[in-house]
Amino acid sequence: MVDKFIFDLIVIGTGVAGSAVASECSSNGLKVAIIDEVPFGGTCALRGCEPKKILVEAAKTIDSFQRHKNKGISNMDEISIKWHDLIKFKRTFTDSVPKEREESYVSVGIVPFHGPAKFVGLDSVLVGNDSSNAILNGKNIVIATGAKPANLNIPGSENVITSDQFLELDKEQLPDNIVFIGGGYISFEFAHIAARSGAKRITILHRGKQPLEHFDPDLVDQLVQKSRDIGINIILEKKVERIENLGTSLTDNATIKGNKLSVHFSSIIDSSLNRDSSLTAPTNSKVEADLVVHGAGRSPNIMNLELTSGKVDYTSKGIRVNRYLQSVTNPVVYAAGDSVDNGGAPLTPVATYDGHIVANNILNGNTMESTYKGLPSVVFTIPPLASVGLTEKMAREQGLRFRINNQDTSNWYSSKRVGETHSGYKVLVEEESDKILGAHLLGPHSDEVINIFSIAIRLGLTTKELNDPILYAYPTNSSDVVYML
């Protein structure tokens, strides 16, 4: 027997986007249901930015001690990360989230449903499996199912773990040899964590000429050098062909450690064309690893929703929506966050922002459009790399007239006093208006300082307005802003 329910709103997904829509609509009197087939909480709280940042903070502690070596700090050899204890500490943040999230829904009248969801009509969703299921009908349905690791389509990919699994590695220490596939956020952030957590050999394999392709290439070059200085081998323009399982490997004391893997890769183009030939490797090479991690991007988690049954048009990048985040083919349906085709960047602030836009448009009619101007993005390496607004390339392609303020800041006091040898900035200022077009930062606290530039871009502030009337606390990294203008 199938139970049937009627709601004003059905939300699929319990991450920040889905929670924002559900909470706002429920508080305005709508009868709301929310569905998830995995523990409630979403990627950010359970498998993404929040738990990752806990690991980053531990790695920063190690890095800080290393940078202060011979600068008044002693007993350096006593500082290390016990991976098992770090993961245990991380779980004190994540383990309680599903229960707390569900209780928060119930407390405001939102009805939770557990299980897979799929469309069975324009306004109908089936929840559950063959043994226990229900059909929910809704005046509106919101798809906020987030993203999942993209399919690698590589022979032997069953030997690769995802970023989700990396965050759950319950080992006393990380394996010695780790290979990351892909040169984006995930690989760089986790590689920097691993480098400070005792891994002896770390490799990043990337298909393109430049890793972190959406960031300023000059600052990426500095970060690549920093990464190499701490023992991360970055190999560019290489395609992973297969991952071979070589069987068990042994530690020095002959106890079984796990499977030894061989990652085979080939050149995509002539390595002589590489921006830095020192980062290339011979054609048809391989590297052995104890662990291989998928860091080659994510895709919308929508393929099991049977969207065609709901006449919801989509692409490989997500649900096709209009400027109000409403499905272009089924007006009952809206989408938010990583589920949207051609939406904002796959970032938590975007998902939250989308959720509020969708809630407004469901409650008040389509009156609010999304705009992602001034959206900052951060790679939480050590030091962090941050960006907001236009890159130099984007500004030139748009035919804008602008000046560039660009400098290596490793000799600035804000870097020298913490022993950071790799830092810099690039700020783009429009000539006619004197407004900030883009800002790109590498260095200590760049993840915080970038927010000042984000506000400036979103509000259309000029360099004068960022400088003359503002008194920055000193000495802080934020006070460096005046020297970047």
Right CATH for 377-484 from 3.65.10.10, 3.40.50.300, 3.30.390.30, 3.30.70.20: 3.30.390.30
Give the whole-number percent of the chain exceeding pLDDT 70. Answer: 93
What one-character-per-residue DSSP string does 272-335 give? GGSS-GGG---SSEEEEESEEEE-S-EEES-TTS-GGGGT--EETTEE-B-TTSBBSS-TTEEE
Please give the Cα distance from 132 to 128 (Å, whole number). 6
User: Contacts by 251-258 with C-beta closer than 8 Å and gap 24+?
Assistant: 257/175, 257/290, 258/175, 258/290, 258/291
The residue type found at 189 is: E
Spell out the residues 6+ positions from residue 279 whose beta carbon is closer than 8 angstroms to its own.
Answer: 224, 234, 235, 236
Asked if 3-47+91-149+299-364 and 157-296 have one fold, the answer is yes
Residue 302, token pair as written in the block: 């929508």
At residue 271, does pLDDT exceed 50? no
pTM strictly above 0.85: yes
In whole numbers, what is the pLDDT of the chain averaged over residues?
92
Give the strand pairing for 177-181 and 291-294: parallel
CATH number of 157-296: 3.50.50.60
- Token pair recorded at residue 105: 């829904």
Answer yes or no: are the C-beta atoms of 380 and 447 closer than 8 Å. Answer: yes
Is it the case that residue 250 has pLDDT exceeding 80?
no
DSSP designation for 210: S
Q: What confidence tens digit (pLDDT) does each residue in 288-303 have?
A: 999 999 999 999 999 9
Encode 61-85: b = buried (16+ Cβ within 10 Å), e = exposed. Answer: ebbbbeeeeeeeeeeeeeeebebee
Rank 277-286, 410-419, 464-473 by mean pLDDT and report only the highest. Answer: 410-419
User: Does the structure show a pLDDT above 70 at 76?
Assistant: no
pLDDT over 60 at 280, yes or no = no
345-380 pLDDT tens trace: 788 889 999 999 999 999 999 999 988 889 999 999
Average pLDDT over residues 55-62: 96
Confidence check: pLDDT of 274 > 70: no
Q: How does pLDDT run across 411-457, given as a tens digit for each residue? A: 999 999 999 999 999 999 999 999 999 999 999 999 999 999 999 99
DSSP 353-375: HHHHHHHHHHHH-S------TT-
Rounded to whole angstroms, what are the CA distances from 464 to 29, 407, 433, 434? Answer: 46, 20, 11, 8
CATH T-level assignment (fold) for domain 3-47+91-149+299-364: FAD/NAD(P)-binding domain (3.50.50)
Token digits for 471? Answer: 């008194």
Strands (E), 32-116: 32-36, 111-114
- 167-212 tens-digit pLDDT: 999 888 999 999 999 999 999 999 999 999 999 999 999 999 999 9
Residue type, 294: H
| pLDDT tier, 273 (very low <50, low <70, confident <90, very high otherwise) | very low
Residue 283 contacts by C-beta under 8 Å, 6 or more apart in sequence? 266, 267, 271
Can you give the residue ranges of every domain in the chain?
Answer: 3-47+91-149+299-364, 157-296, 377-484
Residue 409 CA to residue 370 CA, distance in Å, equals: 36
Using pLDDT thresholds of 50, 70 and 90, give the confidence band for residue 108: very high
No. of H helices and E strands in the chain?
13, 23
pLDDT above 90 as % of the chain:
84
